[in-house]
Amino acid sequence: MKSMMAVALSGGIDSLIAAKLLIQRGITVVGIHFLTGYETCNNPSPQQLTELLASRLGIDIHLMDAVQPFQETVVNYFVQLFCPDIFVGAHSESLHGL
């Protein structure tokens, strides 16, 4: 039976090369790309980019919506740790626009 591995694809070159090397070793690769809400590239969209990568690598790539968990566990933690004087809660109006 052929080995299978999931690779988190960030959009950078390192994860793409890792996926390609695994494919060259005969491993079935499934790509996963997490949407964080902080994507800066709208052209192509994350969906278009993953479709392009999938066709070039010959693998399935799945988009995972991680916007809410990323905000709650990464962004809010960062704000609490480095900006405690302005953090007043995840749903506060005073954080709007930061």
By residue range, what is the domain housing residue 85? 68-98
Residues contacting residue 79 through CB under 8 Å, at least 6 positions apart: 86, 87, 95, 98
Cα–Cα dist 2/25, whole Å: 11
Q: What is the pLDDT of residue 35?
A: 86
* Residue 76 DSSP SS3: helix
Please tell me whether residues 46 and 72 are part of one structural domain: no
Please tell me whether residues 79 and 42 are part of one structural domain: no
pLDDT value at 51 more than 90: no
Please tell me whether residues 61 and 83 are part of one structural domain: no
Provide φ and ψ at 6, rounded to 5°. Answer: -95, 140
Identify the band that residue 15 occupies on the pLDDT scale cut at 50, 70 and 90. confident
pLDDT value at 55 more than 90: no
User: Structurally, how many domains does the chain consist of?
Assistant: 2
Please tell me whether residues 19 and 58 are part of one structural domain: yes
Cα–Cα dist 44/15, whole Å: 19
Please tell me whether residues 52 and 9 are part of one structural domain: yes
Q: Which amino acid is at 12?
A: G
Please tell me whether residues 32 and 50 are part of one structural domain: yes
pLDDT value at 19 more than 80: yes
| 18-31 average pLDDT score | 93
